[in-house]
């Protein structure tokens, strides 16, 4: 590709950061020092567009922001047009194209934190550090809802670091209890030790998978009736079978750990507490669907989960549990971690492909579906973390035993004494779950499924996909956010509207402009209720639901609608 660069030189530090990721430039054509040979022969750079986001991260991590020179150097190294690289860099909220201090504090102002006093934290931070922008920023949900109100400080440098400023809690209040399936190791087994993982039943499921063969694994998963836990509840077995049968190769596996739905933190807790389980589950999924390469896309706000999984993947590789010949079975599979950079939309199953490939994280039109044309245009199976780790008990116990007590994770936060991730078998009621989490006041409403979900007041809802659907709500990603009388519901609605406005990718009109108009109408309604504005909200909401490209726009009005209809917020 013939690209025109700006000719701005990077600082030494920026160059070093990019070279540390990509290796030194092979020739002057890629940005190295010019030699005699370079003038005689032009070399053709291998396109490596998919390394664009990692390269942008490398500079952001080292310097704290991305300058013109740094972007130009990345473009030269990867043969990416600068306008496109700028479009990608400006898409992500964790990447800054303006100078920032090396240490930036991300103050969560999202739902669970707002219900637990983030406004006060914000005020204190502003008094100490001044207006937001260069030293601190408002942040959408950090996935630390169990520790609300939370802040995350990211420090750039040669060894980038991070720290969490939030109340300490036990992420799994049921820790160590008998009968836990998905959470049985979290908080009780050393997450860094592969030996401890194997001593507590690890890698039994993979051995069983090799006995069953790929078709056998898919049969067991289908028989177990496993459906996706990311929100859409699509049958996992069908997805795997459809991918496995595609004649086009290679097949790819993508684990969606871009958990950004406000109120969701289960995948973080599982990844931090039981990283090898995810690696084993990904290996089984890859074996069943014929993938040699898996991408684990972890959201950028999860540095601890990223660190634990990097360590676990490296350990598994040295022990022959990832690589060319897994467990001596001749099966080849490896996992590459990709970090998100602050974009809720990248959790959408096709936006995640664009993000990994180095494009703006905009959703693609479906059809074609990922099983047919996914990552790099090849058949791809995309699964959420919780969905994947459910494959382990299916293979360990057999589909019948699994169905008899199918586990589900719930992220309980808001006004409760014991927030955290709870595991309950399907069929428990909301009331039973809240009895465990202990609401601190009179429950006014429960937000199910996060910002894309809806409010309910009936605590006798059965927590199954069918039960919540019958009650006009959704399990979604398992968010159960409890709001009591102390919470300003109008404020929560405004925050939901602001969230969708900020996180809309901007591709389609209903969502790009509709989310803005929704927020404006809610601002007017919270001052004065008029029937015109209520009609307007409904029409815009219905258009977003009917005509948006992806699930973000389609669900952006759910919570507001339920608050108007069920909670009578604007009566």
Partner 1 sequence: MIPLQPPRRLIDVEIDGEVVRVPEGSTILDACRTAGKDIPTLCHGDTLTPKNACRVCVVEVEGSRTLVPSCSRKAETGMKVATSGERSTSSRKVVLELLASSVDLSTTPRAKEWMAEYGADPARFGEEAARVEQPVKVDNELYVRDYNKCILCYKCVDACGDQWQNTFAIAVAGRGFDSTISTEFDAPLTDSACVYCGNCVEVCPTGALSFKSEFDMRAEGTWDESRQSQTTTICSYCGVGCNLTLHVQDNRIVKVTSPHDNPVTHGNLCVKGRFGYGYV
* Positions that interact with partner 1 (CB under 8 A): 1-4, 6, 68, 71, 81-87, 90-91, 93, 97, 343, 360, 365, 367, 501-510, 512-517, 520, 524, 532, 536, 539-540, 542-543, 545-549, 554
Residues 317-329 as b/e (b if ≥16 CB within 10 A, e otherwise) read eeeebbeeebeee
DSSP 47: P
Specify the residue for token string 């990867």: 78
Sign of the torsion angle spanned by Cα atoms 494, 435, 423, 176: positive
Locate all alpha helices (DSSP H) within 130-265, ordered by sequence: 194-199, 204-224, 236-244
CB of 154 to partner 1, least distance (A): 20
| Residue placing its CB nearer to partner 1 in the complex, 38 or 84 | 84
Specify the residue for token string 């039960």: 467
CB of 440 to partner 1, least distance (A): 35
CB of 532 to partner 1, least distance (A): 7
| Residue placing its CB nearer to partner 1 in the complex, 286 or 505 | 505
CB of 17 to partner 1, least distance (A): 19
How far apart CA 538 and CA 500 sit, in angstroms, is 16
Number of other residues whose CB lies within 10 A of the CB of residue 245: 13
Q: Which two tokens stand for residue 104?
A: 């930036």
How far apart CA 222 and CA 551 sit, in angstroms, is 25
| Residue placing its CB nearer to partner 1 in the complex, 1 or 127 | 1
Q: For residues 202 and 447, is the Cβ–Cβ distance under 8 A?
A: no
CB of 552 to partner 1, least distance (A): 10
| Residue placing its CB nearer to partner 1 in the complex, 56 or 186 | 56
CB of 79 to partner 1, least distance (A): 11
CB of 568 to partner 1, least distance (A): 24
Q: For residues 174 and 180, is the Cβ–Cβ distance under 8 A?
A: yes
Q: How far is CA 373 from CA 47, 51, 92, 283, in A?
A: 20, 20, 25, 21
Quick one: which of 567, 566, 535, 540 has its CA closest to 553? Answer: 540
For residue 250, whether the previous peptide bond is cis, meaning omega lies within 30 degrees of 0, is yes
Q: For residues 378 and 252, is the Cβ–Cβ distance under 8 A?
A: yes
- Pairing of the two strands 251-257 and 291-298: parallel
CB of 196 to partner 1, least distance (A): 42
Q: Is 552 helix (H, G, I), strand (E, B) or coil?
A: helix
CB of 506 to partner 1, least distance (A): 3
| Residue placing its CB nearer to partner 1 in the complex, 378 or 501 | 501
Q: For residues 64 and 369, is the Cβ–Cβ distance under 8 A?
A: no
CB of 87 to partner 1, least distance (A): 4
CB of 480 to partner 1, least distance (A): 26
Distance, first Cα to last Cα, the chain: 60
Alpha-carbon radius of gyration of the chain = 24
Angle at which helices 52-63 and 82-89 cross, to 10°: 60
CB of 347 to partner 1, least distance (A): 15
| Residue placing its CB nearer to partner 1 in the complex, 481 or 505 | 505
CA angle in degrees (0–180, nearest 5) for 310-375-16: 45
How far apart CA 389 and CA 196 sit, in angstroms, is 17
| Residue placing its CB nearer to partner 1 in the complex, 277 or 351 | 351
| Residue placing its CB nearer to partner 1 in the complex, 279 or 540 | 540
For residue 38, whether the previous peptide bond is cis, meaning omega lies within 30 degrees of 0, is no
| Residue placing its CB nearer to partner 1 in the complex, 289 or 558 | 558
Q: In what order do the strands lie in the sheet with 136-139?
A: 136-139, 103-108, 151-155, 161-165
| Residue placing its CB nearer to partner 1 in the complex, 180 or 513 | 513
| Residue placing its CB nearer to partner 1 in the complex, 184 or 501 | 501
DSSP 462: B
CB of 496 to partner 1, least distance (A): 15
Sign of the torsion angle spanned by Cα atoms 299, 305, 311, 315: negative
Quick one: which of 21, 128, 148, 7 has its CA closest to 78? Answer: 21
How far apart CA 292 and CA 290 sit, in angstroms, is 7
| Residue placing its CB nearer to partner 1 in the complex, 1 or 39 | 1
| Residue placing its CB nearer to partner 1 in the complex, 130 or 506 | 506
DSSP 345: G
| Residue placing its CB nearer to partner 1 in the complex, 3 or 204 | 3
CB of 282 to partner 1, least distance (A): 30
Q: Which two tokens stand for residue 28?
A: 């002057």
């Amino acid at each position: 590709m013939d690209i025109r660069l700006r000719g701005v030189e990077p600082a030494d530090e920026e160059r070093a950061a990019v070279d540390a990721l990509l290796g030194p430039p092979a020739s002057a054509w890629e940005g190295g020092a010019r030699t005699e040979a370079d003038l005689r022969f032009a070399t053709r750079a291998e396109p490596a567009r998919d390394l664009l986001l990692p390269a942008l991260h490398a500079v952001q991590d080292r310097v704290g922001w991305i300058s013109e020179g740094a972007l130009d150097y990345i473009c030269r190294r990867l043969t990416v047009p600068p306008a496109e690289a700028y479009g990608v860099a400006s898409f992500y909220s964790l990447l800054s194209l303006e100078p920032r201090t090396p240490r930036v504090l991300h103050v969560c102002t999202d739902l669970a934190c707002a219900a637990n006093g983030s406004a006060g934290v914000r005020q204190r931070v502003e008094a100490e550090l001044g207006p937001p922008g260069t030293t601190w920023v408002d942040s959408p949900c950090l996935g630390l809802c169990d520790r609300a109100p939370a802040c995350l400080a990211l420090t750039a440098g040669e060894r980038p670091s991070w720290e969490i400023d939030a109340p300490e809690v036990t992420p799994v209040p049921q820790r160590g209890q008998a009968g836990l399936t998905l959470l049985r190791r979290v908080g009780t087994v050393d997450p860094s030790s592969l030996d401890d993982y194997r001593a507590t039943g690890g890698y039994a499921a993979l051995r069983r998978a090799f006995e069953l063969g790929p078709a056998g694994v898919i049969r067991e998963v289908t028989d177990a009736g496993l459906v996706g836990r990311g929100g859409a509840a699509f049958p996992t077995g069908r997805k795997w079978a459809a991918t496995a049968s595609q004649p086009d190769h290679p097949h790819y596996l993508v684990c969606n750990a871009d958990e950004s739905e406000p109120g969701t933190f289960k995948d973080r807790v599982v990844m931090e507490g039981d990283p090898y389980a995810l690696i084993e589950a990904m290996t089984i999924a890859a074996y069943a669907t014929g993938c040699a390469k898996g991408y684990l896309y972890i959201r950028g706000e999860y540095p601890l989960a990223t660190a634990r999984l990097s360590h676990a993947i490296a350990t598994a590789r040295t022990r022959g549990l990832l690589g060319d010949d897994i467990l001596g079975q001749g099966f080849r599979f490896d996992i590459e971690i990709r970090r998100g950079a602050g974009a809720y939309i990248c959790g959408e199953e096709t936006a995640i492909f664009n993000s990994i490939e180095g494009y703006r994280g905009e959703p693609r039109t479906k059809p074609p579906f990922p099983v047919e044309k996914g990552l790099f245009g090849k058949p791809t199976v995309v699964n959420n973390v919780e969905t994947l780790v459910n494959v382990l008990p299916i293979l360990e116990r057999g589909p019948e035993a699994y169905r008899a007590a199918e586990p589900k994770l719930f992220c309980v936060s808001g006004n409760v004494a014991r927030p955290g991730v709870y595991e309950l078998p399907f069929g428990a009621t909301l009331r039973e779950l809240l009895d465990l989490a202990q609401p601190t006041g009179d429950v006014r409403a429960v937000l199910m499924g996060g910002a894309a979900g809806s409010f309910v007041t009936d605590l006798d809802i059965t927590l199954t996909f069918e039960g919540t659907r019958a009650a006009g709500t959704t399990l979604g990603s398992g968010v159960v956010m409890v709001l009591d009388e102390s919470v300003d519901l109008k404020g929560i609605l405004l925050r939901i509207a602001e969230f969708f406005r900020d996180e809309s990718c901007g591709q389609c009109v209903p969502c790009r402009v509709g989310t803005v108009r929704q927020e404006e109408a809610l601002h007017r309604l919270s001052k004065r209720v008029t029937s015109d504005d209520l009609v307007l909200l409904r029409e815009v909401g219905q258009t977003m639901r009917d005509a948006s490209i992806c699930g973000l726009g389609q669900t952006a009005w759910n919570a507001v609608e339920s608050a108007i209809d069920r909670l009578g917020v604007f009566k």
